[in-house]
Amino acid sequence: MPTSIKNYISNTIPPVIGKQTIWIPGYGINPAVANGAIAGTAETTTNAVNIRTLNFDATVQEFGQFAILMPKSWNEGTLQAQFVWSHDTTTTNFGVVWGIQATAFANGDALDASWGAQVTVPDTGGTANTIYISDNSPAFTVAGTPGPEEFVMFRVARNPGDAADTLAVDARLQGIKLYYTVDAARDD
């Protein structure tokens, strides 16, 4: 591309700065070693749609974890999460409370670090084998000293001890939409 066109584009097209998203599929979230959620698969009856999930128990708090090497353009600010989930057949009590927390690691940091404060978001299901999408969680802070291009670990949970969590069967996590803010147009 000629230099004059590159200059025109860079001077007239505003950079994309602001809120961005990353999709984390449920099957990409690892069950924790202690109190880990269970990886699952299901298939719908009529059209044989297959789903891969991470299944969270109705009575015992279980966890899953995933990691992202955050983009250089991330502003190191707070994050939000939106949960995409489903459930199997049950007749009453459809509430689920999802939780998420995170911690950041720079080069040379020890991995045995404290998690940031967990935030929760309630949602309500109702019909078996139907997709439910929660509201965005409250903003949450990544523990440690987050910096650009750092390794960030996330811990996800269902909170069956919360009074609003009433679903009597496993909550099947299809995935998480993670919101972060960038303050640079590019990662170079």
Q: What structural domains and CATH numbers belong to the chain?
A: 16-182 (2.60.120.260)
Q: Does the structure show a pLDDT above 80 at 6?
A: no
Residue 52 phi/psi, 5° resolution?
Answer: -115, 130
Cα torsion angle, 144, 150, 155, 156, sign = positive
* Interatomic CA distance for residues 34 and 70, integer angstroms: 26
| C-alpha radius of gyration, the chain, whole number | 19
Q: What is the total residue count of the chain? A: 188
pLDDT tens-place string over residues 132-143: 999 999 999 999
The predicted model gives 149-172 an average pLDDT of: 96
In 3D space, the residue among 122, 120, 52 whose CA is nearest the CA of residue 94 turns out to be 122
pLDDT tens-place string over residues 105-140: 999 999 999 999 999 999 999 998 999 999 999 999
**What's the pTM value of the predicted model, to 2 decimals?**
0.89
Q: With H, G, I as helix, E, B as strand and everything else as coil, classify residue 130.
A: coil
Least confident of 26-35, 44-53, 174-183: 44-53
